[in-house]
Amino acid sequence: MHALRRMLPFVRPYRGLAVASLVALVAMVAFDLAIPRLVQRILDDGVARGDGGLVLRTAGTMLALSFVSMAVAVGNSVASVRVGEGFARDLREALFRQVQTWSAAEHERVPTGQLLVRLTSDVAAVKMLVQMSLRIGTRAPLLLAGSVSLMVRTSPRLALTMLPVLAVTVALLVGFVRVMEPRFLDAQKRLDALNAVLQENVAGVRLVRAFVRGATELARFRRANVEVTETALRVLDAGAVLSPALTMCVNIGVVVVIASGGAQSIAGTLTSGEVVAFSNYLLTAMGPLLLMTMLTSAWAQGVASAQRLAEVFEVVPAVRDAPEARALECDGPARVDFESVTFAYHQGTDANALTDVTLRIAAGETVALLGATGAGKSTLAALLARAWDPTAGRVLLDGHDLRTLTLASVAGAVATAPQEALLFAGTVRDNVAYGRPDARDEEVIAAATAAQAHGFIAAMADGYASRVQPRGANLSGGQRQRISLARALLARSRVLVLDDVTSAVDGETGARIHAALRAERRTTVLITQRVAAARVADRIVVLDNGRLVAEGTHDALAAESPVYREICASQGVEVPAV
């Protein structure tokens, strides 16, 4: 129930429509309960006494009530649908906003496939619960209570014979909810797993084909697909039992009413109209319970999904603004300091990605982080962008600990161009100006020119208005990298973090890019594995197994650092003999 209470704030903006829906529903219940009493009146006061006028007037009243009930039912449906759709829209937006606050740690812990299922399938399940609660969920209890009350008023003795049947029916519904809720939760988890496999294969389809792993990936998908199907069948099997069981209860009740009520009618203690009215009230009471089979399924699935959505809202980001965080207001190139920084991706382990790293980068200086894969280069850059916080030590920007600054001001001060450039569906200009949508055309062109991207962009059919497919699928790796670099350059950040941004371009283009970067005179951190790319920097910092082992110019490192000399040798770069 806690999870459902967590969803209530998203219904409040539509409480007017919700109340209107419930008022219409109460009116519908009143009309439904009036019909059996009018039938009794026709039989006992009209047919039995030969009063044809009464029969016609009462039938006319019943017909008018039917039309009014239909109009009220339409109003109830329209209002409940509007409440449900508005609720779902606001809930999806709130979930999306919450996910936007997550740090890298939370995104690693909750795979993208799971988030997609929660923002789509789980939201749809809770929406259905809201809509059905405003229709069947409230109508059924009111009809049940009203029908039982009128059954007792019609014949207390006959009503007592119905109580066991009603008790068994209610017990079946409660038991069904308890059984189904964990099954629906399991079904959503299986759907998460299936979606994760599907997402991985769609994103990596070229790799799968290149390594001829189609059969293996098909087997993975088949296993996940079979698990989803088997879980769904367990849910449906339980549902298949409930509806016939409730129908049997209704039939038993009708038989009891006919047998017992008929005997009382023969004995003269009940009129035939009362027996018919009682039978109608029984059907009015049991009918909604049959409809409750749909609500119980929606309830069980909605509660399970609400639990999963509540988990998203309850996530506290590992990296977030401190209560007294302030914005960084200085302009121009920033000074960067790493003070005794240690970091582990998994707390409580001895596997540090960085260990006791101290590094000072002057304002306007270009520093290259050089090292083998896993040396800690990208981790150091991620700490500078505050994707993570250090396990120990501090990262400072112009002397301010990043943890004392707002995330927004850090993001504005540090622009990153990742090695795996991510582009969005839209135009080329949209992607270059992603961080500054209001940038002038000449500024966009200048950034693209510095990134050596203007030439190929201008050669495209529509130039900067050319369409980019999702993830930049219609562009080469080098083109995506250069557009990503242009985006970082246009951002007017105080620090540039460039993660091997020339890895997919030729040497000549890479040289021109680095020349343009030096002209920027921004504080720049180059992440690279290539000595040739690192040599353009003012200073080279060598990392090895998460430790800073050397720093200096190419010539100084070639003379003093065995690790640097080893890297040069592995890349065929000649260095003077020591």
CATH number at residue 374: 3.40.50.300
What interhelical angle do 15-41 and 52-100 show, nearest 10? 160
Q: Which of 425, 422, 482, 418 is nearest to 454 (CA)?
A: 482
The CATH number given to whatever domain includes residue 174 is 1.20.1560.10
- Domain for residue 327, yes or no? no
What is the H or E stretch that residue 238 is in? helix 214-267
Rounded Cα distance, 71 and 56, in Å: 23
Q: Could you tell me which of 161, 543, 160, 216 has the C-alpha nearest to residue 375?
A: 543
- Indicate if 260 and 133 belong to the same structural domain: yes
Same domain for 436 and 494: yes
Residues 382-417 as b/e (b if ≥16 CB within 10 A, e otherwise) read bbbbbbbbbbebbbbbbebebbebbbebbebbbbbb
What does the pLDDT look like over 71-120, one tens digit per residue? 888 888 888 889 999 999 999 999 999 888 888 778 777 777 778 878 88
Q: How far is CA 224 from the centre of its chain?
A: 20
Quickly state the pLDDT bin for 432 (edges 50, 70, 90): very high
Is 142 a residue whose pLDDT tops 80? no
C-alpha span between 293 and 176 (Å, rounded):
9
pLDDT digits (tens, 9 = 90+) for 240-261: 777 677 777 777 777 776 777 6
Give the phi and the psi of residue 210 in degrees, each rounded to 5.
-60, -35
Q: Strand order in 366-370's β-sheet?
A: 414-417, 495-499, 523-528, 366-370, 539-544, 547-552
pLDDT at 292: 67
Do residues 40 and 114 both lie within one domain? yes
Residues 271 and 418 in one domain: no
Question: What's the mean pLDDT when you consider all of the chain?
Answer: 82
The predicted structure's pLDDT at residue 384: 93
The pLDDT assigned to 466 comes to 93
What number of residues does the chain have?
A: 578
Considering the domain architecture, whether residues 343 and 255 belong to the same structural domain is answered as no
Helix (H) or strand (E) holding 426: strand 426-427
Confirm whether 320 is domain-assigned. no
Residues 362 and 403 reside in one and the same domain: yes
Instruction: Return all residues near 292 (Cβ < 8 A) that are at least 6 apart.
Output: 136, 140, 173
Rounded to 5 degrees, what are φ and ψ at 71?
A: -65, -40
Tokens of residue 168, six digits: 């068994």
What pLDDT shows up at residue 473? 81
In-domain check, residue 329: no
Domain that holds residue 280: 2-313
pLDDT for 338: 95
Write out the DSSP string of 36-83. Answer: HHHHHHIIIIIITTT-HHHHHHHHHHHHHHHHHHHHHHHHHHHHHHHH
Q: Do residues 131 and 240 share a domain?
A: yes
Cα 487 to Cα 111, 522, 528, 529: the distances in Å are 27, 15, 19, 23
- CA 162 → CA 150, 156, 268, 280, 323, distances in Å? 13, 10, 20, 13, 62
Structural domain includes residue 9: yes
185, 240 contact by CB (below 8 A): no
Q: Where are the alpha helices (DSSP H) in 101-204?
A: 104-109, 112-117, 123-132, 138-154, 156-203
* Cα(338)–Cα(354) distance, integer angstroms: 11
Is the domain of 111 the same as that of 29? yes
Same domain membership, residue 430 and residue 344: yes
**Which pTM value belongs to this model?**
0.72
Terminal Cα-to-Cα distance of the chain (whole angstroms): 73
Residue 132 inside a domain? The answer is yes
The rounded percent of the chain whose pLDDT value lies above 90 is: 18
Q: Are residues 102 and 179 in the same domain?
A: yes
pLDDT confidence of residue 211: 61
Quote the number of domains for the chain: 2
Per residue in 389-402, pLDDT (tens digit) is 999 999 999 999 99
Strand 495-499 to strand 523-528: parallel, antiparallel, or no bridges (unpaired)?
parallel
Predicted pLDDT at 308? 84
Helices 52-100 and 272-313 meet at what angle, rounded to 10?
10
Q: Domain for residue 319, yes or no?
A: no
Tokens of 299: 């309830």
In this predicted structure, what is the pLDDT of residue 210?
60
